[in-house]
Chain A
Amino acid sequence: MIAEVLLVLAGHSSSLFPTDYTLNSAIAPLLHPGEQQSLEALGLIAYRYRKIKSCCNKLSHSPSRYICALCATLSHVMKDEYESLVIQTEVKVLKRDSELVASGAFVPLSAIRSIFSEWDAPLAALSALVDELEADNDWKPGPLIDLLVTRSKTGIHRIAQIMSKLSVAVQRVWRTQLTAFLVHGSLSATDPLAGEDFSIVFGAIPSCVSAQSRDSIGYIGRAVATVKAVKWQKQPPRELANDHTRMLEEVLPEDQHAFDLVISEIRTNIGEWLWLNVLTKRDVDEAVDSLANYFLIRNGEFSLSLIREIERLKTSRLTSRHGTASMIRDQDLNLALLRASLGTTAQHDPYLSRLRFVLPGGPVRPLLPSLTNDVPASTTSPANSLAASIFDTSLLGTTMSLTYSLSWPLDLFLDKADLAIYSSIFSFLSALRKTHTRIHTCWTSLSNAQRARRRWTGLGEGGMAEDLDVRAKMLRCGWGVVRDMGWFLDTLLGYVMMDVVDVEFRKMKDLLDKQREVAEARKATGPQATPTTHLDFTTLRTIHTNYLARLVDGCLLSNGSLTTTTKQILDICERFVAVVERWGGDVLPALLFEGSIMGSGQQEVGTMVKERWVIVAEIEENLRSLMELFYEQLTQSMSQPFSTTVDASKSGFLGGVSMINQTTHTFSKTAKAIEGEMDQSRRHVERLLLRLDFNGELSRPRSSKGKGGGDILAEGGLA
């Protein structure tokens, strides 16, 4: 009987317990109820043991290495502790150990029961564990470790001990994976910690690892893996790898503080190494420079040339006869980029080859400048999209965006979202610049027409006695329109290029320089020196992201209503230029044309002058009211920067920013940054206000210009 019981306990089947742990009904009546209970208790232990054992066997074929490790450890524990207990007991029985074998003859069932009672709780807990393990067949290391760590925090010493053994085993396996990833940048084929793009897989990291460490792991892994993958000639030194391996060997994720410390140290080391060897200050500087030169058109010479080249392309396509040849494709625009660079400082710039134009809508047929007077659809409604997108079509007539190829190692600190912002700033600036150029062309044609006319008229504008005065006034008015347009664009561009782009660019450069100084100081003093600033790409990215945010604000792109007004002003400029072009490059009709002299009968002198003046006067009026509206909106944005539209678009934008910044950017930090940005952009707007209203003409009430009250009301309706 005892032999039978011991065999059962060792995991063999027996007729004593035919199904689970209820006694065979044949034998039950023969036993004393006390014996029955003891036997059933032992049966329960045996049953649980068997269950655990069989589960272990089954789970050890699981594809997850973590589950396998768990099973192996579990089997090991069972073997070491439980099975050896069974054998010891057997030995004692056979040796007739006096402690167990009463008077050398019989073994009380209760004694055996008491020996195995210590396994009651552990086996119960373990069996619950395997139940849970079996319930889910796809265990990620994160939740698994979490589960084990939680279970090991029980008050029952034996359970805690076994569970922590299991959890340590699993954590070790995970740590090996982590070491492979962090030190060598390699990921296993099954159950990798990170995906293809080196973003951490959901569930791969236990929750006992802090969010900051989690980010750092992603960052280090990405950096190291990419360095390895591109077979860069400079690889992280072996000592660094050894150090890191050793450091990781010493900690387990469950000791949160020690683990965080190790991870952050590795991160600092890697960041520093990258900064000094891979993505050096020079790379960053040059990238930032080239982005500023081309996207923020700091290279004015080149951008002007590019705008002319694109205009030329459009004209050449419009004049070509064949259907296919009249389309503009991506490659035509990219060729224009190259052609534009000829003879400019951009010609030999290697960074130029990173620029590409993209036409999301495919090839297009160019359109003639529009003469319509339509107000562009207001863009205030979708607060989250950058209001800048309305400028995307200005350069070509259809949506076109400029992109920049992000090659390693630049993608360590720039990503697509950054480029999208750059691209929309480019759209805005090039739209301004293009219209500015068009106004200059218009001015040139006016001035040239005047030179031609003056050969006959002297200083005057000529004409018959009837329209002499009208011609003079209308010419003045036409020039006045060009003046206002040119002045507005001069001022706006001057503000954007100098007060926004230049100031922000300098500021960012200064910050970057400071970063480098820190890095170099640390290199000189050696790694023992306590780090004063946390130097890595997070800081870099934060600097850059803030820089972009301030640029967008400074360019007024985060304010929907101002953007719309600017666009309207640009449109009215384009319209005027187109009208003058159609009139043959002058506001006045040529002297001997129809309408300026007495026609064949009914036509009055000066009909054409009058006709044109209606148009010019209307444009003049609209332009003035738009400029005043712009000034008014700008003033408003100063006094109520938290008004709903501004706020909504701004928060929408900053939402985008925080999305870009996937690194350790805590919320409070962002919030603080927002406040700072607000202040910054307000200061920018102040500068524009000063420039616009330097001689107080825009802020002066219009009635002082000798216009009636009724007029103003009408204008109000117009605006």
Chain B
Amino acid sequence: MPREIVSLQFGQCGNQVGSTFWQRLCLEHGISKDGILEDANIETYDRKSTFFYQADDEHYIPRAILVDLEPRVINNILASPQGRLYNPENIFKWKDGGGAGNNWAQGYFSGEQVYEEIMEMIDRETEGSDSLEAFMLMHSIAGGTGSGLGSFLLERLNDRFPKKLLQTYSVFPNTQEGDVVVQPYNAILTLKRLVKNADAVFVLDNAALSRIAADSLHVQTPSFDQTNQLASTVAAASTQTIRFPGAMFTDLVSMVASLVVTPRCHFLTTSYTPFTSDQVDEAKVVRRTTLLDVMRRLLQPRNRMISAPVSKSSVYISNINIIQADVDPKEVQQCLLRIRERELATFIPWGPSTIQIALAKRSPYIKSSHRVSGVMVANHTSIAPFIKKMLDQFDRLRKRNAFMEQYKKFDNIMEEFDDARTTADELQKEYRACETPEYANYGGPKNG
């Protein structure tokens, strides 16, 4: 029984990240740009059926739905060599074509008009799978379509598929130098939906992405393509154990369940190392990688894909390292020992916790230039200052009532603003609470 995952990509960012994500998956599974298995003779134990299905003519087709309110990005994808990979029926370009104009409300409220058509695609995809496990959303929360329409569809998916996992890869805006002025509004409004409707959210911070890209590529301003490649690498690597199943973490729920362990905190941070030219164009050459090296880098705050001030009090609530390498498990033991000795990772003070390690198989189709690479997916409380920063920006904008007229066109939007702000604030408080030992003092039933 393959446990299928249907992915939905919204808006410019979502589609760009999605497109590189599928490129990466095709590469790892030996599927050519138009969906043909390149070399059937390579012996591989991968599981393609989670993310792909086979058309009548044996072409592999991604279980992906591409949605945008303006046609430009999707047209570019379709014109690219990979354009023929996708199922043309799964592509939604709004005929009215105006886009959401970087306005959350615009995107959200156009949802009603496009809902039917998109839901039909989703229904077709879900009915085509035997035992659907999850939906995977890719979007940015700063713009209009990804955030607004994404929010709308997230709510509807929650209604319609209450028993399926909803997981998102959400690109968070760069709080320092946003290219959209209203992005704090959009982000907080979307965040509320992510809190309420998703089971797990992979937070990909644009600021951190560009910083890491700049670090590993040695360029001042990395291109969107390059940061997207980073994001998609993380997304692909985090599904490695599902696509190349070993003994552990062979389905999505086993990963998410061990990561999301408290009722309110389901925002996950990631880090990946090393980024080489295998993943990103023009990356630095990495000479030598050892397991310890990789694991230590994964734990370093500067490799985390969120940029938040490093604070002493922040802790790991949970942590999974997916290591892609042919390493001896004995080595893992030594690394864990070393990490504990040097206190490289601090964990919650209210319950036993540890770094879970999954040794993932590598794709036989790619010759990697380095021995070990790894991705860390963690639930870390440094999300709290990160969200705090977003809230501060939101408040600054809100105080001046700046750019409100674009949103005021819609009913009740002010209430919506307040509600979203409260939700985000509660979220960061909850994360703060996880840092204290008192978190687990539930008190007895009698005291209640």
B partners with A: yes
* Bound-complex Cα distance A344 to B351 (A): 36
Any chain B CB within 8 A of the CB of A506? yes
With CB as the reference atom, state the residue of chain B lying closest to A614: B445
B21-42 vs A, Cβ < 8 Å mask (1 yes, 0 no): 0000000000000000000000
A440-456 vs B, Cβ < 8 Å mask (1 yes, 0 no): 11011011101110110
Asked whether, in the complex, the Cβ of B163 is within 8 Å of the Cβ of A448, the reply is yes
Asked whether, in the complex, the Cβ of B442 is within 8 Å of the Cβ of A476, the reply is yes
Q: A residues 450-488 with Cβ under 8 Å of B?
A: 450-452, 454-455, 458-461, 467, 469-470, 473-477, 479-480, 482-484, 486-488
* In the complex, chain B residues whose CB is within 8 Å of the CB of A482: 257, 261
Any chain B CB within 8 A of the CB of A387? no
Minimum CB–CB distance for A684 against chain B, Å: 10
Which 10 A-B pairs have CB atoms at the shortest separation, nearest pair first?
A694-B354, A613-B445, A483-B261, A695-B347, A470-B448, A301-B245, A477-B442, A697-B352, A443-B257, A497-B247
Any chain A CB within 8 A of the CB of B45? yes
Known A490-B356, A695-B353: A690·B336 in contact at CB below 8 Å: yes
With CB as the reference atom, state the residue of chain B lying closest to A451: B158
* Bound-complex Cα distance A639 to B198 (A): 47
Any chain B CB within 8 A of the CB of A418? no
Known A344-B1, A499-B329, A502-B329: A297·B351 in contact at CB below 8 Å: no
Asked whether, in the complex, the Cβ of A476 is within 8 Å of the Cβ of B262, the reply is yes
* In the complex, chain A residues whose CB is within 8 Å of the CB of B423: 458-459
Known A440-B253, A693-B352: A298·B442 in contact at CB below 8 Å: no
Known A345-B47, A499-B329: A610·B254 in contact at CB below 8 Å: no
Q: A residues 689-711 with Cβ under 8 Å of B?
A: 690-695, 697-698, 705-706
Asked whether, in the complex, the Cβ of B337 is within 8 Å of the Cβ of A690, the reply is yes
Asked whether, in the complex, the Cβ of B158 is within 8 Å of the Cβ of A455, the reply is yes
* Bound-complex Cα distance A488 to B257 (A): 12
Any chain B CB within 8 A of the CB of A712? no
Asked whether, in the complex, the Cβ of B422 is within 8 Å of the Cβ of A458, the reply is yes
Any chain A CB within 8 A of the CB of B258? yes
Q: A residues 668-696 with Cβ under 8 Å of B?
A: 687, 690-695
> Could you list some 25 contacts between A and B, CB below 8 A?
A305-B1, A342-B1, A344-B1, A344-B2, A440-B253, A443-B260, A446-B263, A447-B266, A448-B162, A458-B419, A458-B426, A476-B262, A476-B439, A483-B262, A491-B354, A494-B356, A497-B247, A498-B248, A499-B332, A610-B445, A694-B340, A695-B353, A697-B352, A705-B441, A706-B441
Minimum CB–CB distance for A204 against chain B, Å: 48
Any chain B CB within 8 A of the CB of A27? no
Size of interface on B: residues with Cβ below 8 Å to A: 74
Any chain A CB within 8 A of the CB of B443? yes
Write the residues of chain B forming the contact surface with A, with a CB cutoff of 8 angstroms. Answer: 1-2, 45, 47, 49, 130, 155, 158-159, 162-163, 165-166, 192, 195-199, 245-248, 250-251, 253-254, 256-258, 260-264, 266, 318, 328-330, 332-333, 336-337, 340, 346-359, 419, 422-423, 426-427, 430, 437, 439-445, 448
* In the complex, chain B residues whose CB is within 8 Å of the CB of A609: 448
* Bound-complex Cα distance A503 to B359 (A): 12
Which interface class (under 10, 10 to 19, 20 to 34, 35 or more) fits A?
Answer: 35 or more
Asked whether, in the complex, the Cβ of B162 is within 8 Å of the Cβ of A452, the reply is yes
Q: A residues 344-381 with Cβ under 8 Å of B?
A: 344-345
* In the complex, chain B residues whose CB is within 8 Å of the CB of A440: 251, 253-254, 257
Asked whether, in the complex, the Cβ of A498 is within 8 Å of the Cβ of B196, the reply is no
* In the complex, chain A residues whose CB is within 8 Å of the CB of B266: 447
* Bound-complex Cα distance A702 to B198 (A): 35
B250 is contacted by which of A304, A447, A610 (Cβ under 8 Å)? A304
Asked whether, in the complex, the Cβ of B245 is within 8 Å of the Cβ of A300, the reply is yes
Asked whether, in the complex, the Cβ of A308 is within 8 Å of the Cβ of B1, the reply is yes
Asked whether, in the complex, the Cβ of A459 is within 8 Å of the Cβ of B430, the reply is yes
With CB as the reference atom, state the residue of chain B lying closest to A612: B445
Minimum CB–CB distance for B128 against chain A, Å: 14
A698 is contacted by which of B340, B352, B443 (Cβ under 8 Å)? B352
Known A301-B250, A613-B445: A479·B351 in contact at CB below 8 Å: no
